[in-house]
Amino acid sequence: MAGFELIDGEEERQFYKDVRDILENARSNAYMVANDIMTYAYWNVGKRIVEQELRGSAKAKYGSYIIKRLAQELSEQYGTGFSIANIKNCRQLYMTFPQDSFGYSMIGKVHWSHLRTIMRLEDAEERDFYLKETAAECWSVRELERNIKTGYYKRILSTQFPDKTGQVPQFVKDPYVLEFMGIKDNVGIVEKNVENAIISHLQKFLLEMGKGFCFVDRQMHICTETADFYIDLVFYNYILKCFVLIDLKTHKLTHQDIGQMDMYIRMFDDLKKQEDDNPTIGIIFCTDKDETIVKYSVLNESEQIFASKYMTVLPTVEELREELERNQLVYADKSN
């Protein structure tokens, strides 16, 4: 066509992509702002409900009445989305996160669907942990629900020394829950099966490991003057600024396992670690632990070696509670 010069196809496609990116970013930002505004609106609705309830003489009965009537009024004006259940959620949001709490400052940073799950937790520190981690790690609702169900917070907290309780836990868990691997029974499996299953579900495994983990290698070859060694899994944690070695076992922890990991760490620090890296950490994944071995081995003194049980099926509430109680006793002995 006379009067202008056609641009080449690649440049034109880039132009269209740039415009789409501008619009998508705007929509995304608008959605986040809208979510933030509506979340605080729900909090204020909850606050107003509680204020109104306090004016009633028969508080419990009156509270039920005004929630029912409010749901009717809002549904008539705004349509669906303001059921009795949702109105109760607004009230619970205000009751759970008062304006002077850490949770109140965080509620605009996560989606309403996340909040409905988190605010049902009874422990305030646990709620704050999940709020912070959901916002920082961009957990989906499904990931959040899975982490709560598997006791993510409590499994990390159980490995903390008593004098460090209250700090934000961010590293070793015990046990690790690896139900996503598809292994229903540990009987008859070998380390190679577990390793292959982890690699096949690496993204889920990294989420289970926690913050800051990057996969480095599997069966990493370390060669000395006299022998060759192969480390099952090697990761790097950019928060801790150190390598993390994982040795997979399909049996109960033995003192030989601990000695082998101790040797791996010493070799890795000597041959692989860079000057600006912190000392290497090793985690032995085992199917069970013996408290005597934990107490009277180098595990009891080392800050570089950990042993954690891994579970290939989701534990029941009772099973998880028993594991956590046992861990607390072990780590209490270690700190003495």
Write the pLDDT tens digit of every residue in 176-207. Answer: 999 998 887 666 678 898 999 999 999 999 99
Confidence bin at 14 (pLDDT 50/70/90): confident
- How far is Cα 36 from Cα 106, in angstroms, rounded to an integer? 10
Confidence bin at 15 (pLDDT 50/70/90): low
Strands 176-177 and 242-248: unpaired
In sequence order, the β-bridge partners of residue 283 are 246, 306
Give percent above pLDDT 70 in the chain. Answer: 86
Q: How confident is the prediction for the chain on average, in pLDDT?
A: 84
Confidence bin at 97 (pLDDT 50/70/90): very high
At residue 164, the pLDDT reads: 45
85 conformational bin, left if phi > 0, alpha if psi -120 to 50, beta if neither: alpha
**Better-predicted residue by pLDDT, 45 or 28:** 45
At residue 5, the pLDDT reads: 57
At residue 2, the pLDDT reads: 52
**Position 220 pLDDT exceeds 90:** yes
The mean pLDDT of 158-178, rounded to a whole number, is: 64
The mean pLDDT of 87-113, rounded to a whole number, is: 91
Tokens 């107490």 sit at which residue?
Answer: 295
Instruction: Tell me the helices (H) and strands (E) count for the chain, helix number first.
Output: 13, 6
At residue 299, the pLDDT reads: 72
**Better-predicted residue by pLDDT, 188 or 38:** 38
**Poorest-confidence range of 109-113, 124-128, 166-170?**
166-170
Confidence bin at 232 (pLDDT 50/70/90): very high
Confidence bin at 168 (pLDDT 50/70/90): very low
- Decide: 159 and 210 in contact? Cβ < 8 Å: no
Give the DSSP letter of residue 160: S
Measuring CA to CA, which residue among 272, 283, 213, 199 is closest to residue 248?
A: 283
At residue 59, the pLDDT reads: 57
Tokens 């729900």 sit at which residue?
Answer: 42
At residue 34, the pLDDT reads: 74
The mean pLDDT of 108-127, rounded to a whole number, is: 93
pTM of model > 0.85: no
The mean pLDDT of 51-75, rounded to a whole number, is: 77
Q: Which amino acid is at 301?
A: E
At residue 8, the pLDDT reads: 65
**Position 111 pLDDT exceeds 50:** yes
- How far is Cα 219 from Cα 118, in angstroms, rounded to an integer? 39
User: 170 to each of 146, 209, 235, 240, 314, how far by Cα in Å?
Assistant: 17, 10, 16, 10, 21
Confidence bin at 262 (pLDDT 50/70/90): very high
Dihedral over Cα of 119, 122, 125, 130: its sign: negative
**Position 266 pLDDT exceeds 80:** yes
Coil vs helix vs strand at 225:
coil
**Poorest-confidence range of 30-44, 50-64, 157-171, 210-224?**
157-171
At residue 259, the pLDDT reads: 92
The mean pLDDT of 121-141, rounded to a whole number, is: 93
Buried b (16+ CB within 10 A) or exposed e, 135-171: beeebeeebbebbbebbbbbbbbbbbeeeeeeeebeb
At residue 165, the pLDDT reads: 44
